[in-house]
């Protein structure tokens, strides 16, 4: 154990000064060193070092971005680094100081050394100037540390760390978990979700290989990708202070057991489809997924206002007026901004959110609709990401990028482009498309419905399915409801048709498939088209054509009969809400018709399967 003293100082004396001091204290305590830290800044000196502290110290650490008086440390080995280096590479900085104290410039792990390669003065004793660790400061304080793989051990752990600000504790917890995992003989990969986005993002392969997952976070972290893994959720503070206990608890969790049922197979299929999404398609679907709850809530609340009469909301001060204000002026107003905001978020992480939201709001105000929102989202995301990756600031100013530089420049650029370049052309396109769809009738409506229906069934949740669904959802913002009705009805048909077929054509399915048909019926009723994927995976040549035929029939009937739907999800469970769909009777008829067509097609296409023969019991 070494006795050390340190000074941390940045120009403001607030963020980096305090963060560096905390990082040094915590890591020193974990390594068994006695460390006293003095902070210097705009508010003066805090926790000043006494003469006794300095006299007892074997080495000094100066983590400073400003000039610091070193005269009182004369005769002591001094390790000089930036505050950013002290925050990011805390362990290496402490090792360098300890090495200097022992008369060697090399840290035990070789990660930090004096410029001249030696801490020895000519006379063989440590001098004040010799032991200097002046490693270059990183480009950004929030940059994630490289978490190198540990030597081959028992297995692999994966983790995510995140704190509300995404600066100090996020990365300190990542370092603590890395040390604890290595001490236990495990390799570890840690994804840090910081103020400038996710760093060291976990891959699907790493998650698949992992023995356990650790979530050390005080903010929301999506858990969908960790389905089926041992998972421990804890606070970022506990991950930092009790990393060894956290690792032990994660590895002590029981492993998931049992063969997956249909619901689990569907969840896995959806996860695989999501993993295959990439590039612009992935970004678009991210925006749509965040927009959907607003569309569902807004559409159903508007439908409730019609219970009191189609024009009852026009009377000020009434309940129908309040419902219309909540659904139409509240939820529906946010639809396009949220779509654009989270497209940009998918591209550039947190820095993209502000330009995306503002660009989406401008798209709404310019009557550019969901097409304008999509353009605004991609503009906001790529502009923010370019600024994030291109603009370089001094290390002590990097903290300004996510809160000042990126939001200001990206929002200004996207706003000007939307107003002067994008808005009017996209608005004209959107107006023409809406007018065409509203005026569509007869053969054209039936053809469009059949096309949307077939697209919903062709890949059951894949890119083609999502393209039809996104198109229909986007039109809700323009009060065009018939494509949405056709899309949802058609999406319900594949699992419903399979469920019906397992009942009326039992000899075409195995006992396991017949049991899965019951769950498929529930999934289909809830508008989860992926409920048909396990069946299609086993017999795609017969199942997919039957599903496409039934969905096309349903889509054609729904559009041809003029059915409209105000909520983009929920299946039959939203149909009980008055005016959510109209006319209700023929809409249900179109779903039943497609379900029957799919079941009959399966009876024709599928052959009877060999059933296991029950042997008579052996005679005693």
Q: Which residues are catalytic?
A: 163
Tell me the sheet residues that pair with 213.
158, 231
CA distances (Å), 454 to each of 256, 543, 555, in order? 37, 13, 8
Among the listed residues 66, 67, 134, 61, the one whose alpha carbon sits nearest the alpha carbon of residue 101: 61
d(CA 377, CA 362): 11
Task: Write down the residue that tokens 């007892």 correspond to.
Answer: 56
Q: How many other CB atoms are found less than 10 A from the CB of residue 256?
A: 12
**In the 3-class helix/strand/coil scheme, how is 563-589 assigned residue by residue?**
CEECCCCCHHHHCCCCCCEECHHHHHH
User: b/e map of 118-131 (b: 16 or more CB within 10 Å)?
Assistant: ebbeeeeebbbebb
The residue count for the chain:
620
Q: How far is CA 32 from the centre of its chain?
A: 38
- Which uninterrupted H or E stretch holds 556? helix 540-560
d(CA 225, CA 203): 10
244: left (phi over 0), alpha (psi -120 to 50) or beta: alpha
d(CA 73, CA 5): 10
Among the listed residues 404, 399, 483, 405, the one whose alpha carbon sits nearest the alpha carbon of residue 438: 483
Antiparallel, parallel or unpaired: β 34-41 and 44-46: antiparallel
User: b/e map of 504-535 (b: 16 or more CB within 10 Å)?
Assistant: ebbebbeeebbebbebbbbbbbbbbbbbbbbb
* Cβ contact 154:182 at 8 Å: no
Kindly report whether the peptide bond that precedes residue 272 is cis, defined as omega within 30 degrees of 0: no
d(CA 195, CA 19): 15
Among the listed residues 466, 458, 469, the one whose alpha carbon sits nearest the alpha carbon of residue 548: 458
Question: What is the Cβ-side half-sphere exposure of residue 4, based on CA atoms within 13 angstroms?
Answer: 33
Angle formed by the axes of helices 463-476 and 279-305, nearest 10°: 40
Question: What is the Cβ-side half-sphere exposure of residue 506, based on CA atoms within 13 angstroms?
Answer: 5
* Cβ contact 152:181 at 8 Å: no
Task: Write down the residue that tokens 């370089």 correspond to.
Answer: 392
* Cβ contact 84:75 at 8 Å: no
């Amino acid at each position: 154990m070494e006795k050390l003293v340190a000074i941390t100082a940045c120009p403001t004396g607030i963020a980096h000064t305090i963060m560096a001091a905390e990082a040094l204290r915590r890591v020193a305590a974990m390594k068994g060193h006695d460390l006293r830290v003095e902070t210097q800044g705009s508010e003066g000196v805090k926790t000043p070092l006494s003469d006794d502290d300095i006299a007892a110290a074997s080495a000094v650490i100066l983590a400073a971005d400003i000039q610091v008086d070193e005269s009182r440390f004369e005769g002591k080995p001094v390790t000089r680094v930036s505050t950013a280096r002290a925050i990011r590479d805390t362990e290496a900085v402490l090792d360098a100081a300890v090495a200097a104290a022992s008369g060697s410039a090399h840290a035990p792990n070789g990660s930090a050394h004096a410029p001249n390669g030696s801490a020895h003065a000519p006379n063989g004793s440590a001098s004040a100037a010799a032991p200097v660790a002046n490693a270059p400061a990183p480009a950004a304080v929030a940059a994630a540390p490289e978490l190198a793989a540990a030597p081959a051990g028992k297995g692999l752990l994966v983790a995510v760390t995140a704190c509300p600000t995404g600066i100090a504790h996020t990365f300190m917890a990542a370092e603590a978990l890395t040390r604890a995992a290595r001490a236990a003989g495990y390799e570890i990969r840690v994804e840090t979700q910081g103020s400038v986005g996710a760093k060291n993002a976990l891959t699907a392969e790493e998650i698949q290989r992992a023995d356990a997952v650790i979530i050390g976070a005080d903010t929301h972290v999506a858990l969908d990708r960790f389905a089926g893994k041992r998972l421990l959720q804890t606070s970022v503070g506990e991950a930092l202070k009790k990393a060894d206990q956290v690792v032990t608890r994660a590895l002590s969790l029981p492993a998931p057991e049992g063969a997956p049922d249909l619901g689990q197979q569907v969840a896995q299929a959806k996860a695989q489809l999501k993993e295959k999404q990439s590039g612009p398609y992935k970004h678009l679907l991210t925006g749509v997924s965040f927009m959907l709850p607003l569309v569902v809530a807004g559409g159903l609340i508007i439908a409730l206002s019609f219970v009191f009469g189609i024009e009852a909301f026009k009377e000020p001060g009434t309940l129908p007026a309040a419902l219309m204000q909540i659904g139409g002026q509240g939820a529906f107003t946010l639809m396009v901004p949220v779509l654009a905001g989270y497209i940009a978020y998918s591209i550039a992480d947190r820095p993209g959110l502000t330009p995306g939201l503002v660009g989406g709001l401008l798209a709404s105000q310019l009557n550019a609709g969901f097409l304008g929102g999509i353009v605004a989202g991609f503009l906001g995301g790529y502009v923010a990401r370019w600024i994030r990756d291109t603009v370089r600031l001094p290390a002590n100013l990097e903290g300004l990028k996510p809160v000042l530089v990126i939001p200001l420049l990206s929002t200004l650029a996207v706003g000007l482009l939307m107003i002067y370049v994008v808005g009017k052309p996209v608005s004209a396109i959107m107006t023409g498309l809406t007018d065409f769809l509203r005026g569509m009738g007869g053969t054209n409506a039936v053809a469009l419905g059949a096309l949307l229906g077939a697209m919903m069934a062709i890949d059951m949740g894949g890119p083609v399915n999502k393209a039809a669904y996104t198109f229909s959802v986007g039109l809700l913002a323009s009060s065009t409801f018939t494509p949405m009705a056709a899309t949802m009805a058609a999406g319900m048909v594949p699992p419903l048709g399979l469920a019906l077929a397992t009942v009326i054509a039992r000899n075409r399915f195995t006992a396991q498939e017949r049991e899965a048909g019951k769950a498929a019926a529930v999934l289909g009723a809830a508008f989860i088209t992926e409920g048909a994927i396990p069946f299609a995976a086993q017999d795609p040549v017969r199942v997919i054509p039957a599903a496409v035929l039934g969905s096309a029939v349903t889509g054609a009937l729904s559009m041809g009969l003029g059915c409209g739907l105000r909520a983009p999800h929920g299946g039959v469970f939203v149909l009980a809400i008055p005016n959510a769909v109209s006319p209700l009777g023929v809409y249900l008829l179109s779903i039943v018709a497609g379900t029957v067509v799919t079941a009959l097609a399966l009876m024709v296409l599928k052959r009877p399967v060999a059933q296991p023969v029950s042997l008579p019991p052996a005679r005693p």
